[in-house]
Structure 1
């Protein structure tokens, strides 16, 4: 008998890849979305769709009754109340997997380890706040809801991706850097280029969600990230290599950046303190990471085929030219 899976969300990025992963592995998949984005599976006989708002309990209940899922992958739970409601509505499924985040960690440890590194706290005000500043707090509270439900017998787990990249990435964070490498022969990198913000290839996140649903221990959280974490400079070097682009990476310290009126934090994917997640627990379940060069090759190919350039993250090429001049390039 075919297992059924309900993906809450499933048309844009992580959810889209998760649907593809589940369908490719023999699941009968249904997505639950509001229908505000184009459904890439509209013509895919393996994937059904129900319309609903995951923040409305009645819609979640209706989806549960219509699909009778064995597995639920919850990609769009952004408030602890969302997770708490799901714990009740999906209490009897074989596996519920909550998509949490590496931002749930509340201490700057290197690496951040499941069950060891403290999580963010979350006040009642933060629990209903939709600003980016409280994202990690809300995700951590969702983790705690999963843990509490597991103690009551719910087969619930959490998966914590770090920064996710790959095809269909609507955030366009990595697209900014890819565009720079493909467009210019000199690219400004803040600092010495050795800053590290761990990333996860989106197809690997999708496979992690499936594997945790199948093999994960209820009440556990699993980090997911590239098994080889690249610095920002190494990332651009890899982009240039797979794209066969002739590009010089120019590190720029505070003085050079100031010449263009910029600081290091004006550049997307810059993080002063290293962010690195341990992924051993996930690997112990049999999960494998795509080699970063291959992941980047696919990402660059998708970038070239898509209409994305990361312009919203652009600090301004005129400003960068002043930085390059100050840096002696």
Structure 2
């Protein structure tokens, strides 16, 4: 079999660039020697330096541009869509760009894939589309009940992907993961933001009572899960990629404070976020049946992440 041609949208961002690095390092035998094209709008969260030195083509563009999609999608064997607006607070302040990219952009990309006859497509999504769960874990057939504009936009994109699979037979699968962490994450998300502030001697803001619970997955494990779905996922199906630690935000803040040489005085309670989901939890048995298991223990992954930012003060805000 010839080495595949892969199009990675959002490939200059945090998760996408990790995936590209893994592919080009031949960490995924099925994609060994792959030729990679990256499409990225290069917003504030997309950083070409994440791809420095990598043998890939970077196309600067927007997945909402259907003519651009029609120009670059043909000839690729696999298309993986990491492109998204993803920060909940920004979506609460102004939802328009989230709807544009996460809904209309997905439709534009999938239409181009349909017209090109792309053999394999993966839509990368989030556990936030389910809303909030007090106990237990969501299975892939749980109803979608998003509670933030970001989550609603991602749910819309997922439903479009499913519709293209059912209506048109497009071979697109959907992945949904927990909260990602690791190096190269733009410091607006909680872990790099807290590390940045703590290392700079500032306090960190903890929403509400701090008891909101999240499932944490290292970015390398997330990318391994996406790769498995790209290789073996069924069209129209959803696959969960869960992490290795379920923590309250208060527990996470305390761990980060200790890792950065601070104490609990560095944690400041602030007014809760609007519509703040209480807890996320994914049942990942479906993906595990395909051979997936997370490899990065949370304690090790968190320590390595703190060190990465500590060694790079230019990444702090």
Scaled by the length of structure 1, what TM-score is found? Answer: 0.74
Given candidates 63, 88, 102, the residue that maps to 2:72 is 63
1:108 matches 2:151: no
Rounded to whole Å, the distance in 1 between the matches of 2:4 and 2:183 is: 27
Q: Give the Å deviation of 1:38.
A: 4.4
Q: In the TM superposition, what whole-angstrom CA distance separates every residue of 1:9-68 from its partner, at most 9, and x where no partner exists?
A: 2112111111112222322211012456542335322x2223332111111111123xx1
- Is contact 1:242-1:293 (8 Å) kept? no
Q: Match for 1:139 among 154, 170, 174?
A: 154
Residue 8 of structure 1 deviates from its aligned partner by 0.8
Find the aligned partners of 2:47 and 2:199 in 1 and give their Cα distance: 29
Structure 2, unmatched stretches of 5+, are 27-31, 85-100
Matched, 1:82 2:105: yes
Which residue of the partner structure matches residue 263 of structure 1?
Answer: 271
When the two chains are superposed, the root-mean-square deviation of aligned CA atoms in Å is: 3.1
Larger radius of gyration: 1
C-alpha separation in 2, matches of 1:28 and 1:146: 25
C-alpha distance in 1, partners of 2:73/2:311? Answer: 37
1:66-106 deviations in whole A, cap 9, x for unaligned? xx111111111533232223222213222211122222114
Which residues of structure 1 form unaligned runs of 5+?
122-131, 311-329
Q: Measure the CA separation in 2 of the matches of 1:50 and 1:117.
A: 36
2:278 maps to 1:278: no
Distance change >3 Å, CA 308–CA 264, structure 1 → 2:
farther
After superposition, residues 92-171 of structure 1 pair within 5 angstroms as: 92-106=117-131, 108=133, 110-120=135-145, 133-151=148-166, 152-170=168-186, 171=188
Helix, strand or coil: the match of 2:121?
strand
The separation in 1 between residues aligned to 2:286 and 2:248, in whole angstroms, is: 23
2:304 pairs with 1:298: yes
Separation of aligned partners in 2, 1:80 and 1:263: 30
- Count of aligned residue pairs for this structure pair: 285
The reply to whether residue 20 of structure 1 matches residue 21 of structure 2 is: yes
2:29 maps to what in 1? none
Match of 1:320 in 2: none
Structure-1 residue corresponding to 2:292: 287
**2: CA distance between counterparts of 1:174 and 1:137?**
23
Partner Cα separation in structure 2 for residue 109 and residue 140 of structure 1: 20
1:191–1:38: structure 2 CA closer, same or farther, 3 Å change rule? closer
TM-score (norm 2): 0.77
